[in-house]
Amino acid sequence: MEKKQAVVGDYVVTARIGSGSFAIVYKGYHKVTNVPVAVKAINKTKLNPKLLENLESEISIMRQINHPNIVKLYDIKKTDKHIYLMLEYCDGGDLQHFIKKQPNGVVTEATARHFLRELADGLHVLWSLNLIHRDLKPQNLLLTEPSATSSLKIGAFSLSPLIVII
């Protein structure tokens, strides 16, 4: 018997890939283009009014950012209980897992330099918009592929890790 897949707007949800306090992240794809996406399902019932307000602000900011070192927000769908963010899918996983898979958990100097350059480029864009990401850590830095030359993307923006500097 074929497993039934969930559909959120124009996106098919295929597999759970992670979770946090307020959200579950699934892998999915666009029904027409087949572009892979990460579908972040945020449970609104677990958010207090301030967190919900912060999330709406973050979504507004994310819609404006288009940079190769920042995870793209493709689409948003809302229901009574959930907010679904359709985000760029990064097939290489996060930087923490990449480092753990290296011999002795160590990356080469060239690899570290490459990833730091990519991170600096993404941070420069955020800073130019007067934004600070408050939760930078290897788990929130995503790789487009599991290789030392992968593009690195800053992710995990939802629920207020960004601060606007006035």
**What's the total number of domains in the chain?**
1
Domain of residue 78, residue span: 6-164
* Residue 40 assigned as binding residue: yes
Spatial contact of 27 and 39, defined as CB atoms under 8 Å apart: yes
pTM of the model: 0.87
Instruction: Specify the higher pLDDT residue, 135 or 42.
Output: 42
Share of residues in the chain with pLDDT > 90 (%) = 68
Question: Can you give the CATH number for the domain in which 133 is found?
Answer: 1.10.510.10
Residue 37 covered by a domain: yes
SS (H, E, C) the chain: CCCCCEEECCEEEEEEEEECCCEEEEEEEECCCCCEEEEEEEEHHHCCHHHHHHHHHHHHHHHHCCCCCECCEEEEEECCCEEEEEEECCCCCEHHHHHHHCHHHCCCHHHHHHHHHHHHHHHHHHHHCCEEECCCCHHHEEECCCCCCCCEEECCCCCCCEEECC
Residue type, 84: Y
Instruction: Specify the higher pLDDT residue, 51 or 13.
Output: 13
Spatial contact of 119 and 71, defined as CB atoms under 8 Å apart: no
Q: How confident is the model at residue 21 (pLDDT cuts 50, 70, 90)?
A: confident
Q: Is the pLDDT of residue 163 over 80?
A: no
Choice among 75, 80, 91, 135 that is catalytic = 135
Question: Active-site residue 135, yes or no?
Answer: yes
Residue 1 covered by a domain: no
For 123, residues 6+ apart whose C-beta sits below 8 A from its C-beta are 133, 154
| CA 131 to centroid of chain Cα atoms | 16
Mean pLDDT across the stretch 142-149?
Answer: 96
Q: What is the mean pLDDT of the chain?
A: 90
Residue 27 covered by a domain: yes
